[in-house]
Structure formats: C-alpha cells, structure tokens
C-alpha cells in the first residue's frame, strides 16, 4: 500500500508554492517603488493598455488619433492601475462590505476601500502588490473602472487609436495587453486564497496566456518587484524561463 501511495505521489504534478506579498502594505509606497525602480527610464515608460509614452513627472505624451475627450483632465497623466481591480478583491473583506467599529469619523460610519485599508493589513498588502500595478493613462483607468475583461462583439474603440472598448460594464483591452492581463489575474488567483476567478474568467485568461506570449518587460518588471517585495510571481517565473 505504501508503495502504491508513493507511485501515485510521484505521478502528480508538483505545484509551485505561491507566497503573497508580505512586505509592502502601503499603496503610496508601492507606487513610488514602481516609478523609482521599474519606470525609471524613457525606454520603459509606456502605459499598460494603450502603450502611451510618459515622462518622469508622470505626464503622458498622447499620440495622434488618441481620443482624449473621455475624462479629459485625467488623460494628461498616468495613474497606477490595479489590473485586478481593488474592488474585485476588496469585496471579499468584511470591512469593505459592512464596515467596522474602527471605521467611524466625526460620528459617521464608513465602509468600502477606505475602511478595508484602515483595518485590514491583508487588504493593504493585496492593494500594494506590485505585480498587479501598472502605469495607465488616467482616463483609461477611470473608464475601465472595476469592470471585468471580456471579448466584446460589435463595439468600437472608445479611445480612438487605442483599441480599448467598454460596453455593458465589461471591458475589452487591446490585443497587445491581453497576455499581461491574463498572467496578472492568474498570479492573483494562484497567490491569494480570498480571490478566485470564475470558470469563465479562468478559461479566457488561460487562452490569452497561451495566445499572447510573455514579454521581456513583464519578466524584467517581475525580477525587480521580487527584489523589493520578496515574493515570487510563480506564473511569470515559469513563463519567463523561455526568454
């Protein structure tokens, strides 16, 4: 019987151990680290969805054909986008949904992201995870909101030359961003027990991961984030071995 169990164990795939972020619990600090250590040269200062260049002052240089009429003031700057939206993983926290005794200001109770940030260190660590944060044109970040990604049919780009669509509270990103998006969601699903992809999402992101290979930027960024955050992105660690 022991021999049988040993043979079965040997036949099972070895699953990589995914350790979450346990080092950086400040969203502000996470953004500063990304600017200082990742987006520290013009050659890598490009936004995640629309590949728009930006400078060290976070000012965007919008290309010809980019539609800047949506959230016009926010189009001028980059913001750090949670590819997996904070609300989508935040709703699993009681403090987000219901508030907490500690979440009272001037006699008025509050909940949501503000309460979860104040009370839950686990939420703060997830919110500050550098593997999930990317520079994005502020207007695109605002328009995407917390909508899930999906393939949309019969819709046109909302940002002109940047092929980003939003319809019925769903978002379709440009092809150039789909692999990165997929691997970010797969990392979060693998790493954080409080976050789980639906079957439909898992199928979509698995397909995008295969269809759109990992980029050098993803791999370089992962090495840098691992250096200061001290946890490995097991999804990218596996994919980047081929580069």
Give the whole-angstrom CA distance, residue 123 versus residue 131.
15
Give the pLDDT confidence score for residue 63 in this predicted structure.
95
Give the pLDDT confidence score for residue 154 in this predicted structure.
84
**pLDDT digit string, tens, across residues 176-190:** 999 999 999 999 999
Give the pLDDT confidence score for residue 17 in this predicted structure.
57
Residue 229: HSE in the Cβ half-sphere, 13 Å Cα cutoff? 32
Q: pTM of the full predicted structure?
A: 0.92
Residue 75 — very low, low, confident or very high, per pLDDT cuts 50/70/90? very high
Mean pLDDT across 150-169:
94
Residue 13 — very low, low, confident or very high, per pLDDT cuts 50/70/90? very low
**Average model confidence (pLDDT) across the chain:** 93
Is the pLDDT confidence value at 165 over 60?
A: yes
Neighbour-count burial of 161, counting CB atoms closer than 10 A to its CB (0-12 exposed, 13-18 middle, 19+ buried): middle
Is the pLDDT confidence value at 9 over 80?
A: no
Neighbour-count burial of 182, counting CB atoms closer than 10 A to its CB (0-12 exposed, 13-18 middle, 19+ buried): buried
**pLDDT digit string, tens, across residues 36-74:** 999 999 999 999 999 999 999 999 999 999 999 999 999
Neighbour-count burial of 49, counting CB atoms closer than 10 A to its CB (0-12 exposed, 13-18 middle, 19+ buried): buried
Mean pLDDT across 3-28:
64
């Amino acid at each position: 019987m022991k021999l049988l169990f040993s043979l079965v164990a040997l036949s099972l795939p070895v699953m990589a151990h995914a350790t979450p972020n346990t080092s950086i619990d400040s969203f502000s600090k996470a953004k500063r680290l990304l600017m200082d250590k990742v987006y520290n040269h013009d050659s890598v200062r490009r936004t995640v969805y629309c590949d728009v260049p930006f400078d060290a002052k976070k000012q965007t240089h919008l290309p010809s054909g980019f539609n800047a009429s949506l959230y016009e003031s926010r189009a001028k700057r980059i913001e750090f986008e949670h590819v997996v939206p904070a609300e989508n993983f935040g709703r699993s926290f009681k403090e987000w949904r219901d508030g907490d005794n500690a979440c009272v200001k001037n006699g008025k109770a509050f909940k949501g992201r503000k309460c979860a940030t104040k009370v839950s260190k686990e939420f703060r660590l997830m919110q500050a995870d550098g593997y999930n944060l990317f520079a994005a044109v502020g207007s695109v970040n605002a328009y995407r909101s917390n909508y899930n990604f999906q393939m949309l049919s019969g819709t046109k780009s909302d940002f002109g030359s940047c092929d980003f669509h939003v319809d019925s509270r769903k978002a379709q990103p440009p092809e150039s961003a789909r692999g990165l998006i997929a691997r970010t969601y797969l990392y979060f699903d693998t790493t954080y027990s409080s976050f789980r992809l639906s079957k439909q999402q898992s199928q979509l992101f698995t397909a995008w991961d295969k269809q759109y290979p990992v980029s050098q930027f993803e791999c370089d960024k992962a090495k840098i984030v691992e250096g200061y955050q001290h946890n490995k992105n097991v999804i990218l660690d596996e994919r980047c071995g081929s580069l």
